[in-house]
Structures are given as structure tokens and as C-alpha cells.
Homo-oligomer: A and B are copies of this chain.
Amino acid sequence: MSEAYVHGYDPRENERLQDQAGTLVDLLHSDTSYPSGSVALEAGCGVGAQTVTLAQRSPGARFTSVDVSADSLAEAKRTTEAAGLTNVQFQQEDIFALPFASESFDHVFVCFVLEHLSRPVEALAILNRLLRPGGTMTVIEGDHGSTYFHPDSSAAHRAIQCLVELQRLAGGNALIGRQLYPLMVEAGLQAVRVSPRMVYVDSSRPGLVHGFTRKTFTAMIEGVRKSAIEAGITDPESFDAGIRDLHRTAEADGVFCYTFFKGVGQKSRSV
């Protein structure tokens, strides 16, 4: 069994990452950096939430960050320029219709994107074709089914389920994090290694109580209130009770747990 750890997965690594992570950014990204001179594609950069971190951690690499939304790209551009970054260029593109030649990138980075796609394996296979042999693909996704807390609350679980259901109705999958390994393997990636990045929050970690439990996770669930009620998935009273119980987990005796998954695979050298 300790052999399994030797081959790459070290559960203690997650603990170390978490202890060292001042922020969620560190937990998810501290072990991603690309060598100087390498060429990387960020597929689905959104408003650039990860782009700044990515480009700062690999100052000698050149990034092409694409997104389907012009508004998001404009925001991403402002953010990276404000950070003084000059190694990122933005392009408006659809992941399923990318204009790049095969094998034109050393690295591909995909974060919080697959959860929104109805054909995640197809997207990964397209991105895999853009990688040069031996190039790497990094994929990061959350998994809302990894959420549990104290005090436990079925109302809170039902409120979370509203987001899961809305994502499903939109063609996505909010439970995709746990599936990264089989999805990446099915898309043809080699030597796939997935590691969980668990966020554990109790009141001895006040930064996470505020920054993650309240302002990241609970705020995200609160954000679908109107859509979930309009879709008939919940009613105001039930939803608000769930949100109250999520905030309850941020009190002194509360605990909150959520897990992100990070997968790294390689483009086959024998294509």
C-alpha cells in the first residue's frame, strides 16, 4: 500500500499544500509552473481568475488564454494588464472549434471549465490533439458532492443540490471533480495522476471561514437563488433555510469540507 504512495500519490502532500496555502490559489496552483520558453494554452480562462496566477508562476512561458465570452475576455485582459503581465495573449474561441494547429502547445491548462460542458471527453480529446508529444495537460475541477459540514443539515444539502440540478439542466455536471481520472484516460491522455485538494475549514482557520465557507462556497450557492426558484427546483423558504444552515457551519463550533481535484496527464509520445 505504501507502494501506491511511492508511485506518486501522497495523501500527506494534500495536507502540506493545505497548510502552506495562504489561499485557495496556493492550494490549487502552487505545483503548476511551466519552463521558460514553453508555450501554453489556457482553455476557458473566463474573467482571468486563474490566468494571473498561472502567468505569474511561469514568467518565462508564453500563454494563449481563450474563452468563448468577449465580456469575460475583456475583464481577463484588464486583470492581467493591471498585474503587469506581458506573457499572456487573449483570443475569443470556442473550445470545440479552436483554430490552432495540432501539436502547437507544450502545455494545456483547463480550470473550472469541464463542469459546464455536456461533452467533456470530446473537449479533452480536442485539447490533447493540440499538445505536442510529451506535453502536459492540467485539469482542475470542483465537486459539489464532496461538500459536507457540521452541523449537518438536509436543508443545506438541498440548497446545494439546487446548483447541481441547475448545472445538470444546463448540460453540465457539478459532480465532475471525482471523475477527472476516467475522463482524462478516456480522452487519450497518458500517465494521468489525479490528486484531491481538500479544503477543511474550522474556526482555527478564520481566513478560510470567511474567504471560503462564507464568501466562496455559500455565496456561490446563494447566487442561484433566483434561478432555482424560477426553475421550480426550490421555494424561497426552503432555499433560505439551507443558506442559513450553511452560514451556521461558519460559526465557532462549525466545520466545512469541500474538495477540488487536480489531474495532470501527458500527450502520448508515440502518435
Contact of A1 among B18, B152, B194, B208 (CB under 8 A): B208
The listed residue (B12, B149, B152, B175) touching A27 by CB distance below 8 A is B12
Q: Give A255 to B143 CA distance when docked, in angstroms.
A: 13
Given contacts A2-B26, A197-B15, A207-B4, whether A257 and B146 have CB atoms under 8 Å apart is: yes
Report the Cα distance A27→B185, complex, angstroms: 26
Beta-carbon contact of A181 and B203 below 8 Å: yes
**A37 interface residue, CB < 8 Å from B?**
no
For residue A206, CB closer than 8 A to chain B, the reply is yes
Q: Is A236 an interface residue (CB 8 A)?
A: no
Report yes or no: B195 in contact with A18, Cβ–Cβ below 8 A.
Answer: yes
Q: Would A182 and B255 count as touching, CB distance under 8 A?
A: yes
**Is there contact, CB below 8 Å, between A205 and B7?**
yes
A117-174 residues with Cβ-Cβ distance < 8 A to B are 143, 145-146, 148-150, 152
A200, B196: Cβ atoms under 8 Å?
A: yes
Closest residue of chain B to A181, judged by CB?
A: B202
Contact of A179 among B27, B150, B203 (CB under 8 A): B150
- Determine the residue in chain B with the shortest Cβ distance to A149: B178
- For A22, A197, A211, the residue with the greatest tally of chain B CB atoms inside 10 Å of its CB is A197
Distance between A200 CB and nearest chain B CB, rounded to angstroms? 5
Give a binary string over A182-193; 1 marks a CB under 8 Å from any B CB, 0 the rest: 100110000011
Contact A205 B9 (CB under 8 A): yes
Q: Contact: B198 with A181, CB < 8 Å?
A: no
Considering the complex, which residues of chain A in the window 224-261 have a beta carbon less than 8 Å from any beta carbon of chain B?
252-255, 257, 259
A49 at the interface (CB under 8 A from B): no
Of the candidates A1, A198, A204, the one having the most CB atoms from chain B within 10 angstroms of its own CB is: A1
CB of A102 within 8 A of chain B? no
Evaluate contact between B30 and A1: CB separation under 8 angstroms: no
A15 contacts across to B, CB distance below 8 A: 195-197
With contacts A1-B22, A205-B7 taken as known, whether A152 is within 8 angstroms of B148 at the C-beta atoms is no
7 contacts across the A-B interface (CB closer than 8 A): A1-B23, A1-B208, A14-B198, A150-B178, A152-B175, A181-B255, A195-B200
